[in-house]
Structure 1
Amino acid sequence: MQKEKLPRHVAIIMDGNGRWAKSKGLPRVEGHKQGVEVSENIIDKANEMGLKYLTLYAFSRENWNRPKAEVSALMSLLKEFLIAKKEKMLRTGIKLNAIGDLDLLPTEVRQTLEETRRDTAAGKGMTLTLALSYGARDEILRAIKKLLRQELTTDKFPVDLTEEEFAKLLDTDDMPDPDLIIRTSGEHRLSNFLLWQAAYAEFVFNDCLWPDFTEEHLKSAIKEYHQRERRFGKTSDQLKGVS
């Protein structure tokens, strides 16, 4: 796939691990393990394609409400992933980023995450962002709280605040908005993911469960993305330069 035809930023809602495991008569954690393997493959393939930004919805704030044993297993898998993947990220130039309320992560996981972010910060390849303990409403609320704290310290409320200025208060201030959002498992909803940033994103919904997702599914979604006309509020004639 030609690099000039790639969207700049692809975000994926990885859904269906539990259903995949259930369909095979396996514990849910086995679905998550297989999901991690698929994530590793998609990360590698996206980087090889030349994708600049890949964001994976790995763990939502709502996921904290799952059974404690499942949450504990997910945190262990996350830590193992970070440790096992770091060497390859360094070798291939992948830069790790993370968004979400990271203070809620277990201390050991948070420390491993910060260490991996620090060690890969100089990477010149793809920026891989993991959405962890993430919820878009929470992100927007935290941004508003930052704004209010600024008001208290400066005694001046920014009445002329622009969208661009507000976006800088979000977790995603150092990356472009997603061009393409992919969701697996046949569900057709955002599930509190990148609500602000998804304003002009294209969506591709795939019926396959995340553990069955392949490079070909990714390429197919990108191909579908390129068949669409992104107008950003303009008309087709305006985009074509027709008066």
Structure 2
Amino acid sequence: MDGNGRWAKQRGLPRVAGHKAGAEAVRRTLRAAVKNGIEVLTLYAFSSENWRRTEEEVSDLKGLLGYYLERELDSLAKEGVQLRLIGDYRAFGPDLSQRLERAVEKLKGNSRLTLVVALNYGSRAEIAEAARNLAGKAAAGEIDPVSIDEHLLGEQLQTHDLPELDLLIRTSGEVRLSNFLLWQAAYAELVFTPTLWPDFGEEGLVEAIHQFAARERRFGGR
């Protein structure tokens, strides 16, 4: 979800206004995902690199996250949305972490759509952690190092119990993955759109789905 800052700058507004507009885009996109029968929607909400931003902007992002989480919780429950978190969200402090965990608990029985929110997430760190876990198991004699393969490593990832990633959409005209689901995106279809995230919604999602449906997926087979 990229382009909040540029959206605000184009309108002569502070960056926080772009983040607020981006949160509205999340609402639109989530409802569109439910409407179009998407099973899992993963949103890159806060990367591990976002800590490099100003303290004020990081504080604004955390505040917005807590605000919209509480405001949308009943709506998510009504829509049948289950919430999952990936990344080290506990870095946001005990108050926000506990609110996030309460939201996960409240929505855990839902099954219409799984909303995965990546918070303080970085794919390289996730893969490194998976490698450390396997190294520890090997050192403890729990597994044979020779047995380590793609399947075993994949089981150590935070997304291990989710379906394979089919479609990855990046907004705002940037054409890179920016440390997001690098392992999982190995055979995903990629869609890059010039639309800034605050302007994204059902139309953009449906267009991306149409692009996905029109592609022939060969998975390296031919």
Cα distance change, pair 20–153 in 1 and its aligned pair in 2 (3 A)? same
Give the 5 Å matches for 1:160-239: 160-235=147-222
Query: 1:18 aligns to what?
Result: 5
Deviation at 1:149, TM superposition (A): 2.5
Deviation at 1:106, TM superposition (A): 2.0
- Rounded to whole Å, the distance in 2 between the matches of 1:113 and 1:203 is 29
Q: 2:82 aligns with which of 95, 99, 107?
A: 95
- Rounded to whole Å, the distance in 2 between the matches of 1:225 and 1:26 is 35
Q: 2:146 aligns with which of 155, 159, 169?
A: 159
> Can you give the 5+ residue segments of structure 2 that lack an aligned partner in the other structure?
none
Q: With structure 2 as the length reference, what TM-score do the two structures score?
A: 0.96
Identical counterparts, % of pairs: 47
Cα distance change, pair 206–167 in 1 and its aligned pair in 2 (3 A)? same
The question of 1:50 aligning with 2:37 is answered yes
Deviation at 1:151, TM superposition (A): 2.8
Query: 2:103 aligns to what?
Result: 116
- Rounded to whole Å, the distance in 2 between the matches of 1:134 and 1:173 is 15
Query: 1:241 aligns to what?
Result: none
The number of aligned residues is 222
Q: With structure 1 as the length reference, what TM-score do the two structures score?
A: 0.88
Deviation at 1:155, TM superposition (A): 5.7
- Rounded to whole Å, the distance in 2 between the matches of 1:53 and 1:61 is 22
- Rounded to whole Å, the distance in 2 between the matches of 1:79 and 1:196 is 29
> Can you give the 5+ residue segments of structure 1 that lack an aligned partner in the other structure?
1-13, 236-243
